[in-house]
Amino acid sequence: MDRLKAMQVFVEVVDRGSLSAAAQRLDMSRAMVSRYLAELEAWVGVRLLHRTTRRLSLTPAGSETLPRCRRMLDLVGDMHEAVATPDAQPRGELRMTVSLSFGAAQLGGAVADFVARYPGASVDLQLVDRTVNLVEERVDLAVRITNELDPNLIARKLAPCRSVVCAAPAYLQARGSPGRPEDLAGHNCLTHSHYGKSLWRFRRDGAWVDVPVGGNITANDAILLARTAVQASGIALLPTYLAGPEIAAGRLVALLPDTPPEELGIYGVYVSRRQMPLILRAMLDFLAERFGPAPWDTWP
């Protein structure tokens, strides 16, 4: 038995959710996929998958075996990568997904520069404010701003994402400025549907301070929240890559400088390192190079 191939089949079946989908992906028959699974189970001596006519699920032994198979396949992929042709150029299409705000404010320009550097590459960029299932929607790379990563996916940190609490001068003149995070309870806070909708987290004296917040506008897009904040609708918690230019222009005022909000990470997230396409590896390196240094973030 080709044990590496059997491990690849097992991982693909789990990722795709069915033997038929794995067979199509691996360009082999469904019977061959089933045979590789049976041989792998015989080799490890336990059943790895519960198989019914409707669904597949991992057994406890399968849950233990899966990450080990992924690591083994990743090692093989790293070996191939180490001896790959050094002057090869990325080609083909890369399907990517990113949030609306970061895509519009930052990633669009980065993608344009990437395809200019690599003329043989093309990018299909999807801007959505939801967590995309990379396997089901056949997405190669997701750029996510979060501190909660999916343990079943590979993530490479590209840069930090800082935030700032801010409001328009007209709002502060009418309502006053909060002197500490707890004062936000008395203000109209503009909140994001997917992050900090009812609770904002701050760092004070080395400890976390969680502050309940609420207001009359909630949206799933940070660009919209920035615009409503500029119109003196309330206080917003915004990423500095959006708020920085508005603060520099005087349209927004930064608040609570001694208690910074929680910092998130910007990650490139993908399914597996095994047989990683050159275009995916090139994009990750490009984004880390572009967003790793601080100057792209215009926060003073």
Burial (CB < 10 A; 0-12, 13-18, 19+), residue 160, is middle
Between CA 120 and CA 167 the distance in angstroms is: 45
DSSP 206: T
pLDDT category at 52 given cuts 50, 70, 90 is confident
pLDDT category at 277 given cuts 50, 70, 90 is confident
> Which tokens is 264 given?
């998130």
Please give the mean pLDDT across all residues of the chain. 88
Neighbours of 281 (CB within 10 A): 15
Between CA 269 and CA 267 the distance in angstroms is: 6
Specify the pLDDT at position 85.
Answer: 55
Checking if the pLDDT of 79 tops 80, the result is no
pLDDT category at 125 given cuts 50, 70, 90 is very high
Looking only at the bridges linking them, the beta strands covering 49-51 and 56-58 are: antiparallel
By C-alpha distance, which of 250, 194, 184, 251 is closest to 219?
Answer: 194
pLDDT category at 128 given cuts 50, 70, 90 is confident
Between CA 116 and CA 122 the distance in angstroms is: 10
Residues 162-194 as b/e (b if ≥16 CB within 10 A, e otherwise) read bbbbbbbeebbeeeeebeebeebeebbbbbbee
pLDDT digits (tens, 9 = 90+) for 25-49: 888 888 888 898 999 999 989 999 9
Specify the pLDDT at position 199.
Answer: 92
Averaged over 222-249, what is the pLDDT? 94
Checking if the pLDDT of 167 tops 80, the result is yes
| Greatest CA separation for the chain | 75
Q: Give the CA count within 13 Å in the CB-facing half-sphere of 63.
A: 5
pLDDT category at 275 given cuts 50, 70, 90 is low
Strand partners, 269: 142, 155
Checking if the pLDDT of 272 tops 80, the result is no
Looking only at the bridges linking them, the beta strands covering 141-146 and 253-255 are: unpaired
Checking if the pLDDT of 251 tops 90, the result is yes
User: Is-above-0.85 flag for pTM?
Assistant: no
Specify the pLDDT at position 53.
Answer: 66
pLDDT digits (tens, 9 = 90+) for 187-235: 999 999 888 788 999 998 889 999 999 999 999 889 999 999 999 999 9
Q: What residue ranges in 154-259 does DSSP mark as E strands?
A: 154-161, 163-167, 189-192, 199-204, 207-212, 218-219, 235-239, 253-255
Checking if the pLDDT of 249 tops 70, the result is yes
Checking if the pLDDT of 23 tops 90, the result is no
Between CA 9 and CA 3 the distance in angstroms is: 10
Residue 211's Cα: distance from chain center in Å? 25
Residue 219 sits at φ, ψ, to 5 deg, of -145, 160
Averaged over 166-187, what is the pLDDT? 95
Instruction: Pick the most confident of 49-63, 129-143, 249-263.
Output: 249-263
| Residue 18 and residue 37 in contact, taking contact as beta carbons nearer than 8 Å | no
pLDDT category at 164 given cuts 50, 70, 90 is very high
Q: Which domains does the chain have, with CATH numbers?
A: 3-82 (1.10.10.10), 92-159+264-296 (3.40.190.10), 163-255 (3.40.190.10)
Checking if the pLDDT of 78 tops 70, the result is no
Averaged over 173-177, what is the pLDDT? 94
